[in-house]
A and B are shown apart, each in its own frame.
Chain A
Amino acid sequence: MALTTIFFLILSVVAIGTAIGTVASRHPVVSAMNLVLHFLMLAGLYLTLNAEFIAVLQILVYAGAIMVLVVFVILLLNLGKEDSLETGFTARKGVAMTFGAAFVIQILILFTSAGSFTHEITDKSVNVGQVKNLGYILFTKYLFPFEYIALLLLVAVVGALLLGKKKLFLERDLPEKSLK
């Protein structure tokens, strides 16, 4: 077996395992740590696809920024174990399992019925994931979406600040204040 195949198999098995760990663990911190490991495995998988820029971004943005935010919120809310985790079979669980099984079966049917995908990673596509190529296409073909993302992030910052404020309404808008 080739080295890349072994690498891929290890990464994907750990990625699926940590994904199940994220969903199934009782403690939110354990979930978060599983998710960090999952993101690192995905970064490795991107490297097997010659997508170096996306792999670095995955570690910086997901494992670095987003998960730190999640862990900080868990810390602020002082979350412990879920005291009343649903045990046994409930209707909601049944629906969820049906959905999940349907997804997996759909994928398996797709791959057993469809013919083999003929595309191969060629020498031309090895360079696709490089920063030079991505930067060029980002600032030419996708310039407008790029600017729009900047606007979206600005809106997100303002929205998060507004939602995170202690009082959502101004003092003068409260009814008891106007009675005085």
Chain B
Amino acid sequence: MIESIPLEYYLILSGTIFAIGSVGVLTRRNAIIIFMCIELMLNAVNISLVAFSSFLGDSSGQIFVFFVMAVAAAEAAIGLAIVLALFRNKRTIYVDEINLLKW
């Protein structure tokens, strides 16, 4: 049996990447970069799911990661189609210039 890395290391890594992703979502203006930051956050959650699954000896965590990946793929297709449609109509993808639904 190889000596294993403590679970805390994976959780700290996961939390750090999640924080970086959330800062990106809140600060960036470019819709595609915001989209990529959302992917970062999804992946951060995936790390902790796989870590728990592997440390507790339960396969369910890895099945959840499988589902998260499928939802992320669907979200990527829809999100990028929305960005394309937005660019076609407004000629911009900077989220602070898009105020069509702003009250």
Contacts and interface: CB of A to CB of B under 8 A. Distances in A.
Interface residues of B, number: 73
Contacts, number: 238
A51 interface: yes
Interface string B1-40: 1111111111111011111111110111110110111011
Interface string A119-142: 111111100110001100110011
Contacts of A57: 65-66, 69
A169 interface: no
B58 to A, nearest CB: 7
A125 B56 contact: yes
A61 B78 contact: no
Interface string A136-180: 011001100100010011011101100110101000000000000
Contacts of A142: 60, 63
Contact of A46 (B19, B50, B58): B50
Interface residues of A, number: 86
A141 B62 CA distance: 13
A149 B28 CA distance: 31
B67 A69 contact: no
A119 B85 CA distance: 49
A160 B93 CA distance: 18
A77 B84 contact: yes
Interface string B48-71: 001101111111101101110111
Interface of B: 1-13, 15-24, 26-30, 32-33, 35-37, 39-40, 43, 46-47, 50-51, 53-60, 62-63, 65-67, 69-78, 80-85, 87-88, 93-94
Interface of A: 2, 4-5, 8, 12, 15-16, 19-20, 22-23, 28, 31-32, 35, 38-39, 42, 45-46, 48-51, 53-54, 57-58, 61-62, 65-66, 69-70, 73-74, 76-77, 79, 82, 85-86, 92-93, 95-97, 99-101, 103-104, 106-108, 111, 116-117, 119-125, 128-129, 133-134, 137-138, 141-142, 145, 149, 152-153, 155-157, 159-160, 163-164, 166, 168
